Amino acid sequence: MIIVDTALKKREQDGKPVRLAVTGAGFINRGMSNRIINYTPGMELSVIVNRTAANAIRCYAEAGIRDPVEVKTTSELVSAIQAGRFAYTDDYAVATSCELIDVLVEGTGTIHYAAPIVEAAIAGGQHVVMLNAELDGLIGPILHKQAQAAGVIYTGCDGDQPGVQMNLLRFVEGIGARPLVAGNIKGMLDYYRTPETQASFAAVWGQTPEMVTSFADGTKIAFEQAVVANATGFTVAKRGMIGPEFDGFIDDAVKFYDLDMLEEKGGIVDYIVGTKPSPGVYVFAVHDDPQQHIYLKYGKLGDGPLYSFYVPYHLCHFEVPNAAARAVLFNDATIEPTHGPQVDVIAIAKSALNAGTTLDGLGGFHTYGLCETHQVTRSDGLLTMGQAEGCTLVNNVAKDQALTLADVTMPKGRRVDQLRAEQDASLLIGSAVASPASPDPGR
């Protein structure tokens, strides 16, 4: 990213690298670690937090690091950093309590494991970059509130679809246009995919069947667009979003959106299946200055009233370090839930389920996720997708039925449920949250 690369080179010259802790050592994080270690001057991957040591070692090995050191205490991590050694640990507190770490990248994609890690990093004065739309979409607003109180940045990441959309939204607003649709381009969607149907694809790419299933069954895109809604104040046109199928070019997809509806709602998040270029993101916007319409047409953006802007790709692991640098060096969040909670992801039954079933959660056999307004989620007592895992049904539910809190019993004592309840109680629907005072850019 322009400016960020220059600032990082300056940190390299000054011998003051931005130091990262990374949680998780899966497919995306292995590529990201390689990018940071070998291709990002002024940034240092200081420690990988992972429950399985072999996976952390593999992550380093694929980046050409053969002698990482295991650390069990924060003092051991400090010694490793000062000695220029790459470290790994299975205890997140070792990393989150280390004052030499500037920013934590949460990349596990988990809900219950990741939540206390993010809280600990914030409490430890570390900025947080969320490579975890699922957790962000569920309790991002309350975690953002914690970060504000601590004077640190809580942000989604560059390269992932929500961050790419927000960067595009900022560009569109910067030229004086007014965005009304923020969207995601998706290759396919089948609500009823399962880890069994996705196992072979997952094996090819070294990912888990559950993760791949969450892509295919729409749960992932629902969380991504909930994150965008919570950052912009946008809503959804209906439960599940509009999601038209269209095999033409994205510029021609403006025909699927009614301008009066968009204006009435104040902007929506959405997605399109099958359009080109894919994968990518789009923003449809109006410009309220008639004089500028001439120049938009001159720039080949058509006659309006909706103008199409798009990015034809998202290069997730390549761009995540940009979000870390923006937070540490410029106190700038790529995307943060300043307007949340606006949209939730609710759990929908993939098939008829009997009472007594214990739900398996994200990318599983039992449920898929759809976007719904936070107001409806609360008023109808709907079960969020992020809380579904581990819940036991007390009622029979039909295929495609939205599960309610009355349909399940939740496991007791889960921190995520406590944070969700706190978020519901303390944050007003659709209320913007003021940005915190900028912390010291030299930390």
d(CA 437, CA 120): 21
d(CA 365, CA 155): 31
User: Are the beta carbons of 355 and 397 closer than 8 angstroms?
Assistant: no
pLDDT, residue 205, reads 84
**Domain boundaries for CATH 3.90.1210.10 within the chain:** 343-426
Kindly report each contact of residues 251-259 with a partner whose C-beta sits within 8 Å and lies 24 or more positions away, as own/partner: 251/302, 251/308, 251/310, 253/282, 253/308, 254/284, 254/306, 254/307, 254/308, 257/180, 257/181, 257/284, 257/306, 259/180, 259/286, 259/305, 259/306
* Intra-chain end-to-end CA distance of the chain, in Å: 21
User: Are the beta carbons of 53 and 70 closer than 8 angstroms?
Assistant: yes
pLDDT, residue 431, reads 41
The CATH code of the domain at 343-426 is: 3.90.1210.10
| Identity of the residue numbered 127 | H
Angle CA 132–68–106, to nearest 5? 10
Listed residue (38, 387, 133) closest to 143, CA to CA: 133
Which CATH number fits the domain 4-159+317-330, given the four candidates 3.40.50.720, 3.40.190.10, 3.40.250.10, 2.60.290.11? 3.40.50.720
pLDDT, residue 211, reads 86
User: Are the beta carbons of 350 and 322 closer than 8 angstroms?
Assistant: no
d(CA 334, CA 153): 10
pLDDT, residue 428, reads 56
Q: What are the residues facing 245 on neighbouring strands?
A: 273
Name the 3-class secondary structure at 174. Answer: helix
Residues whose CB is less than 8 angstroms from the CB of residue 284 and which lie 6 or more positions away in sequence, other chains included: 179, 180, 181, 183, 254, 257, 306, 307, 308, 309
**Domain boundaries for CATH 3.40.50.720 within the chain:** 4-159+317-330
d(CA 103, CA 415): 22
> What is the pairing mode between strands 103-106 and 178-186?
unpaired
pTM value is 0.94
> What is the pairing mode between strands 178-186 and 87-89?
unpaired
pLDDT, residue 438, reads 34
Sequence-ordered alpha helix ranges (H) in 299-379: 316-330, 374-379
User: Are the beta carbons of 140 and 168 closer than 8 angstroms?
Assistant: no
| Identity of the residue numbered 321 | P
The tens-digit pLDDT sequence of the chain (443 residues) is 679 999 999 999 999 999 999 999 999 999 999 999 999 999 999 999 999 999 999 999 999 999 999 999 999 999 999 999 999 999 999 999 999 999 999 999 999 999 999 999 999 999 999 999 999 999 999 999 999 999 999 999 999 999 999 999 999 999 999 999 999 999 999 999 999 999 999 888 888 899 899 999 999 999 999 999 999 999 999 999 999 999 999 999 999 999 999 999 999 999 999 999 999 999 999 999 999 999 999 999 999 999 999 999 999 999 999 999 999 999 999 999 999 899 999 999 999 999 999 999 899 999 999 999 999 999 999 999 999 999 999 999 999 999 999 999 999 999 999 999 999 998 754 443 333 333 333 33
CB atoms within 10 A of CB 139: 30
